[in-house]
């Protein structure tokens, strides 16, 4: 949808003069004290696919607003290229557009929700919402229909005829959001759209935005200060520091593998329970933690030093065929059915004879819930049902306290064919 290549923005009298200094590796602070120029964004490159939510986060002043404003050239990049994939016209070079093309692009293709939103005080809420459609030249009835639908989506259906001055700050921000959505642009640039909302409404709006995105198939660039928010709504997250993008990854990659101290500091505060998945923390069957026995073409894995000792028997296709414990007979049940109350076994007490299974995409929160029903390790499978390994108490604790997956070393030592495993392991 959008491709950004080596975009740099320098503020000051002679931005071009600063580019060689950046190439020499001078820092933002050095350049500022030596030349008086401010480096807003340095050499940013990334790609956002259609239908993705791409979150950008970083401390105040790290260049988030500057970067997002370069995309529609509200801020003129000093160097670098920006390409936009138009659904009809194919790939367009935004950096080469003239004023008229740019106006059309902003009107129809890229809509922006500003960090400091401004509503027209003399227009009603509805009229503010449909402003973008009005300049697109849509007729009145059509634009009011769309406007009312968007206001309904952000919970302001009753306020269409009110004036901005009658609304609270958070409500005004929601009007800004509805206005951004109403233009029907495929790409939405959102600069901290929820920052003025209180936590409860904010969570509601996050849910709402996810629904809107799925329903309307928008592509969204979303700036936020809040890593939990970025992880909840972003498929990908870019972390910025002093004008530079220092890490791009899925929420889980960032959480499990923060590349620098700066990223680690954000991650420390984050809630891992909705992000870290079973595939990342499972102890692989093929690893050194298990003893492998092959019998008539079937594989058995025996957990060493585990209590109770459990033998995991896999059939030729790698599916869990039986689990055997010397101490007691065990039943196997999918974690999903236990959580949804469809289980065959009564789970009124925490059982030590039920072994739960889940897929490698199952998030930590569900694994923890599962452990309130069963004291035994949870068997992790890939999407095809092939058993990959287990998650026991230690992995759950490690994931919560240290946001840690199985290390690369551990995984490499054990896994021959990392089928379906998360690449972050
Ligand atoms: N118009 C401008 N003129 C000069 N410097 C600017 C201008 N706009 C931004 N900057 C500088 O560029 C850097 C990045 O600013 P930017 O507004 O992009 O940060 P941000 O990450 O959006 O911060 P916040 O989270 O506070 O909104 C800062 O050092 C800022 O001082
Ligand atoms: Mg900003």
Q: What's the CATH class of domain 2-269?
A: alpha beta
Q: Is residue 421 over pLDDT 60?
A: no
Residue 406: band (very low, low, confident or very high) from pLDDT cuts 50, 70, 90 = low
CA–centroid distance, residue 35 to ligand 2 (Å): 24
pTM of the complete model: 0.82
pLDDT at 291: 80
Q: Is residue 60 over pLDDT 70?
A: yes
Environment of ion ligand 2 (residues, CB < 5 A): 65, 115
CA–centroid distance, residue 146 to ligand 1 (Å): 34
pLDDT at 266: 87
Which residue in this structure is represented by tokens 């509503």? 119
Q: CA 419 to CA 388: how far, in whole Å?
A: 8
Q: With respect to CATH, is domain 278-412 assigned 1.10.4100?
A: no
Q: Taking residues 45-67, what's their average pLDDT?
A: 94
Q: What is the pLDDT of residues 300-352, one digit of tens each?
A: 787 766 667 888 888 878 888 888 887 778 889 999 988 888 777 777 778 88
Q: Is residue 136 over pLDDT 90?
A: no
For a substitution probing ligand 1, which of 35, 60, 61, 238 has the most ligand atoms within 8 Å of its CB?
A: 61
What does the mean pLDDT of the chain come to? 87
Q: Which residue has the higher pLDDT, 345 or 103?
A: 103
Helix residue ranges, H only, 226-357: 227-233, 251-256, 261-269, 278-281, 335-339
In Å, the largest CA–CA distance within the chain is 81
The finding on whether 15 has its CB within 6 A of some atom of ligand 1 is no
DSSP string, 77-135: -SEEEEEEEETTTEEEEGGG--HHHHHHIIIIIEEEE-SS----TTS-HHHHHTHHHHH
Q: Taking residues 274-292, what's their average pLDDT?
A: 86
Residue 356: band (very low, low, confident or very high) from pLDDT cuts 50, 70, 90 = very high
Residue 9's DSSP bridge partners are 41
Q: CA 203 to CA 267: how far, in whole Å?
A: 19
CA–centroid distance, residue 60 to ligand 1 (Å): 8
User: What are the sequence ranges of the domains in the chain?
Assistant: 2-269, 278-412
In sequence order, the 6+-apart residues with CB closer than 8 A to the CB of 95 are 73, 77, 80, 81, 82
For ligand 1, atom 31, the nearest C-alpha belongs to 61
pLDDT at 177: 87
CA–centroid distance, residue 56 to ligand 1 (Å): 14
């Amino acid at each position: 949808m959008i491709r950004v290549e080596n975009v740099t923005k320098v503020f000051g009298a002679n931005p071009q003069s600063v580019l060689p200094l950046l190439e020499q590796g001078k820092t933002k602070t050095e350049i500022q004290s030596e030349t008086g120029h401010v480096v807003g964004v340095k050499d940013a490159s990334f790609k956002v696919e259609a239908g993705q939510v791409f979150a950008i986060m970083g401390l105040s002043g790290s260049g988030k607003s500057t970067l997002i404003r370069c995309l529609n050239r509200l801020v003129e990049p000093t160097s670098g290229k920006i390409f936009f994939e138009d659904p009809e016209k194919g790939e367009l070079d935004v950096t080469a557009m003239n004023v008229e093309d740019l106006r059309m692009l902003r009107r129809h293709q890229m809509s922006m929700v500003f960090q400091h939103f401004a509503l027209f005080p003399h227009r009603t809420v509805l009229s503010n919402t449909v402003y973008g459609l009005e300049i697109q030249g849509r007729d009145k009835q059509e634009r009011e229909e769309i406007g009312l639908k968007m206001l309904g989506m952000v919970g302001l259906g009753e306020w269409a005829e009110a004036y901005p001055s009658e609304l609270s700050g958070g409500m005004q921000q929601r009007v800004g959001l509805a206005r951004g959505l109403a233009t029907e642009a495929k790409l939405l640039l959102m600069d901290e759209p929820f920052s003025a909302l209180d936590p409860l409404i904010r969570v509601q709006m996050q849910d709402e935005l996810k629904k809107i995105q799925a329903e309307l198939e928008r592509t969204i660039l979303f700036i936020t200060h809040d890593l939990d928010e970025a992880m909840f709504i972003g498929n990908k997250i870019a972390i910025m520091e002093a004008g530079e993008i220092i890490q791009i990854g899925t929420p889980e990659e960032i959480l499990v593998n923060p590349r620098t101290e700066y990223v680690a500091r954000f991650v420390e505060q984050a809630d891992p329970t909705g992000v870290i998945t079973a595939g990342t923390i499972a102890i692989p069957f093929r690893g050194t933690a298990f003893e492998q026995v092959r019998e008539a073409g079937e594989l058995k894995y025996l957990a060493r030093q585990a209590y109770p000792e459990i033998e995991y028997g896999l059939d030729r296709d790698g599916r869990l065929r039986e689990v055997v414990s010397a101490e007691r007979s065990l039943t196997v049940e999918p974690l999903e059915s236990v959580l949804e109350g469809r289980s065959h076994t009564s789970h009124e007490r925490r059982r030590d004879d039920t072994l739960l299974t889940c897929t490698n995409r199952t998030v930590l929160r569900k694994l923890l819930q599962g452990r309130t029903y069963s004291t035994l390790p949870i068997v992790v499978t890939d999407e095809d049902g092939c058993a990959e390994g287990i998650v026991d108490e230690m992995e759950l604790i490690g994931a919560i306290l240290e946001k840690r997956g199985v290390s690369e070393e551990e995984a490499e030592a054990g896994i021959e064919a990392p089928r379906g495993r998360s690449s972050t392991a």
